[in-house]
Structure 1
Amino acid sequence: MSEDRIHILRDILLDLHHGASPESVQERFNASFAGVSAIEISLMEHELMNSDTGITFEDVMELCNVHANLFKDAVAGVDLAESDHPGHPVRVFKDENLALRAALIRVRRLLDSYAESDESSSQEEISKGLQRQLDLLGQFDRHYQRKEELFFPIMEAYGHDAPPKVMWGVDDQIRDLFELVRKAAVQLPQIDIQEVQEAFETFAQEFESMIFKEESILLMILLETFTQDDWLRIAAESPVYGYAIIRPSEKWQPQRERFEAASPTQPAEQNQQIIDTPQGRFTIQFTPNEAGEQVNRTTAQPFGNGYLSVEEANLILNHLPLEITFVNKEDIFQYYNDSTPAEEMIFKRTPSQVGRHVELCHPPKLLPRVKKIFAALRSGKKDKFEMWFKSETRGQFVHVTYAAVRDAQGEFQGVLEYVQDIAPFRAIDTDVYREIED
């Protein structure tokens, strides 16, 4: 990969952002590139957004479709045989896109049928079918969530931070367009069917464009970058967010080469491991580090106003009826508790998110609010922020608190978020109740 190629790409897109026509830029691109890797696109967007060009991620997001069209016929594919295996996250991702495309077609046909029908009874039946298909299509949100919460953190760890930020912003725009379709559809027949069709086609155009970006750019970056362990981790955590329309037909279990036992003839200060591959056998020798002092998880230590072991402290945190998240003073998501199964969490958390910068854990449209909260807590202007909302779909009344964590000297050490469903408390209608048997 050449830095010159990345700089050429950046300069071409700079001209595009400064008003050059897509046609003239396309000609220059075609003259310079017979093929471009998805990794180069990622690095180019990183340079574009992090140098002194004045280009923001909002600018890149605005021209995201123009960028995609520019690369459309030039992105070099990556062939990884195991990615086509049932259950592999890439195969699941592509299968979902096929199912979502099919749902798009069904919705379009139903809208056309509604427009062609003159009978109110027929239109009523079509409208019911339309709602069912929109419910199916709406499952694309699970597809997007897995991408944002499982793919993006690993991408960022490898240094590919620009594409996730831009793509998440476009995902949210697509979500908003879909909500406009749903709101229009439920108003039939009070509004003209043409309004619903126009809203749907606006959504469908952006949605299909995102499918192209996912499969031609995003997945190419991942296939070039991610290790087998990365994919296994994603596969293991995917059920937390669910799947769109289809589910994996089987669990992906890749073949793993086994390390044989160390040879007894090796010197005591060394260890040896032998690995067999289809190409042959090779040996790894290493000198193990001396065992450091291990924390005894069951020994009680001074803890607050008493004594707790690490194991007891962990159990207590996991038994609190709250979802707890801690972001440290460097704004790194450091901890969350296991009080609730991941699938049932109000704010879903998975191990992939630990170690991620807090700003990358939120959709770009929420960043101004997140930054404002953290700045006020860090400075001491505020010690706590609260918010609450009613979840119609889950029957919950969610209460959220963001609290500054300070040490004995008052120094800021991070932010504690705790979340709970307070619907049961709101339902209390007596002054006294004691669940104690005589």
Structure 2
Amino acid sequence: MSEERIHILRDILLDLHHGASPESVQERFNATFSGVSAIEISLMEHELMNSDTGITFEDVMELCNVHANLFKNAVVGVEVAETEHPGHPVRIFKDENLALRAALIRVGRLLDSYADNEDEQSRLEISKGLQRQMDLLGQFNHHYQRKEELFFPIMEAYGHDAPPKVMWGVDDQIRDLFQEAKTSVANLPQTDIGQAKVDFEAFSQEFESMIFKEESILLMILLEAFTQDDWIKIAKESDVYGYAIIRPTETWQPQRENFVPAVEEELDHNLEMSTQQIIDTPQGRFTIQFTPKESTQQVDRTTVQPFGNGYLSVEEANLILNHLPMEITFVNKEDIFQYYNDAVPAEEMIFKRTPSQVGRHVELCHPPKLLPKVKKIFEALRSGKKDQFVMWFKSESRGQFVHVTYAAVRNEAGEFQGVLEYVQDIAPYRAIDTDFYREIGEENE
């Protein structure tokens, strides 16, 4: 990969940002590149957003479609064994896009049929079909969530932080466009069919464009950068976020080989670990060599030790945290997502958490549009301006009344150590209308 090529790409995109026409830069691009790797595109966007050019991620996001069209016929494909297996995350991702594109076409045809048919009863039947297809199409959110929560953390760990940030921002724009289209379709015939078609077309264009970006750029970056271990981890955690329209028909279990190190390698390792000292004496020189034993001591999770105002083992502390009726997340003082508990299965979590998120910077765990609020909360808690933020929202679809608290964690000296988030559905508590002692008394009778 040539640094010069990355700089040329950056300069071409800078020209775009400064007002050059897509046609003029396309000619220069074609003259310079016979092929460009997705990794080069990622590195170029990173340099563009982290240099002193003044280009922000919002600027890159605004011209995202222009960038994609620029690279449309030039991105070099990548082939990796096993990705066509029905259970491989790449195959599932592509199959979902096929199913979503089919639903997109069906909605478009139904809208045309509605517009061409003036019979009220026929339109009513078409409306029902439209509702079913829009609900089906709305499952794209599962597809996007898996991308954002499972693909993006690993990309960032490999240094590819620019594409996830830009793509997540565009994902949210597409979500907003879908909600507008869904509302217009749901309100037929009160909404004019012409307006419903306009709203759906606005969504459809951006959605189709994202499919291209996913398959021609995003997946190419992943196939170049990810290891088999990364894909295994993604496959294992994918069920948490669900799937769009289709579900994997088979489990992907790649064959793995265990290798036992050769005796020579063990000897080399022991020599590297040894320390040697040469001592001169009047009688001559002798050598002392010391090889430390590798520690085999394991942390005993069952041994009780002083813990707060009492005594707990690591195992007991873990069980207690997992039995609290709330979801707990801890972000340390370096703004790194460090811990979450298992109060409920991941599929049932209000705010879904998976092992892939642990170790991720908190800002990267949120959609770009929420970053200003997240930063404001953390700055206030860190500075001591606030000790906690409390908020709530109602989830009509799940029948939940969600209560959220962000609390500053400080040590005995008052020094900031991180932020504790705890989330709980308080709808069951609000519904309580029985006196506990009276109910116990009645049961005893």
TM-score, with length taken from structure 2: 0.92
1:328 equivalent in alignment to 2:327: no
CA contact (8 A) 1:77 1:220 kept: yes
Question: How far apart are 1:258 and its partner, in Å?
Answer: 3.3
Q: What do the CA deviations read for 1:294-314 (whole angstroms, capped 9, x no partner)?
A: 321111111110111110000
CA contact (8 A) 1:181 1:200 kept: yes
Alignment equivalent of 1:318, drawn from 302, 305, 322: 322
Name the counterpart of 2:84: 84
Name the counterpart of 1:153: 153
Name the counterpart of 2:402: 398
Name the counterpart of 1:123: 123
Distance 1:434 1:57, change over 3 A: farther
Question: How far apart are 1:335 and its partner, in Å?
Answer: 0.2
CA contact (8 A) 1:78 1:223 kept: yes
Q: How far, CA to CA, are the matches of 2:380 and 2:142 in structure 1?
A: 33
The structure with the larger Rg is 2
Question: How far apart are 1:431 and its partner, in Å?
Answer: 5.2
CA contact (8 A) 1:262 1:271 kept: no
Question: How far apart are 1:257 and its partner, in Å?
Answer: 2.5
CA contact (8 A) 1:318 1:337 kept: yes
Name the counterpart of 2:142: 142
Amino acid at match of 2:219: L
1:296 equivalent in alignment to 2:327: no
Name the counterpart of 2:12: 12
Name the counterpart of 2:219: 219
Question: How far apart are 1:268 and its partner, in Å?
Answer: 7.4
Q: What do the CA deviations read for 1:102-124 (whole angstroms, capped 9, x no partner)?
A: 00010001001100111111000
Q: How many aligned positions are there?
A: 422
1:416 equivalent in alignment to 2:424: no
SS of residue in 2 equivalent to 1:416:
strand
Name the counterpart of 2:386: 382
List runs of 5+ in structure 2 lacking aligned partners: 271-290
Alignment equivalent of 1:360, drawn from 361, 364, 372: 364
Amino acid at match of 1:412: F
SS of residue in 1 equivalent to 2:338:
strand
CA contact (8 A) 1:140 1:244 kept: yes
Name the counterpart of 1:167: 167
Q: How does 1:178-217 map to 2 (within 5 A)?
A: 178-217=178-217
Distance 1:435 1:29, change over 3 A: farther
Name the counterpart of 1:370: 374
Q: How far, CA to CA, are the matches of 1:355 and 1:49 in structure 2?
A: 23
Q: How far, CA to CA, are the matches of 2:317 and 2:261 in structure 1?
A: 38
List runs of 5+ in structure 1 lacking aligned partners: 273-286
Amino acid at match of 2:323: H
SS of residue in 2 equivalent to 1:248:
coil
Q: How far, CA to CA, are the matches of 2:108 and 2:368 in structure 1?
A: 31
Q: How does 1:42-57 map to 2 (within 5 A)?
A: 42-57=42-57
RMSD over aligned CA atoms reads: 1.7
Q: How far, CA to CA, are the matches of 2:211 and 2:437 in structure 1?
A: 55
Amino acid at match of 1:381: K
Question: How far apart are 1:426 and its partner, in Å?
Answer: 1.1
SS of residue in 1 equivalent to 2:204:
helix
Q: What do the CA deviations read for 1:11-62 (whole angstroms, capped 9, x no partner)?
A: 1100100111111110111111000000000000000000000000000000
Amino acid at match of 1:411: E
1:345 equivalent in alignment to 2:310: no
Name the counterpart of 1:275: none
Q: How does 1:282-293 map to 2 (within 5 A)?
A: 290-291=294-295, 293=297
CA contact (8 A) 1:38 1:220 kept: yes
SS of residue in 2 equivalent to 1:390:
strand
Q: How far, CA to CA, are the matches of 1:200 and 1:43 in structure 2?
A: 34
Q: How far, CA to CA, are the matches of 2:119 and 2:265 in structure 1?
A: 88
CA contact (8 A) 1:271 1:288 kept: no
Distance 1:301 1:207, change over 3 A: same
TM-score, with length taken from structure 1: 0.94
Amino acid at match of 2:104: L
Name the counterpart of 1:278: none
Name the counterpart of 2:273: none
CA contact (8 A) 1:323 1:419 kept: yes
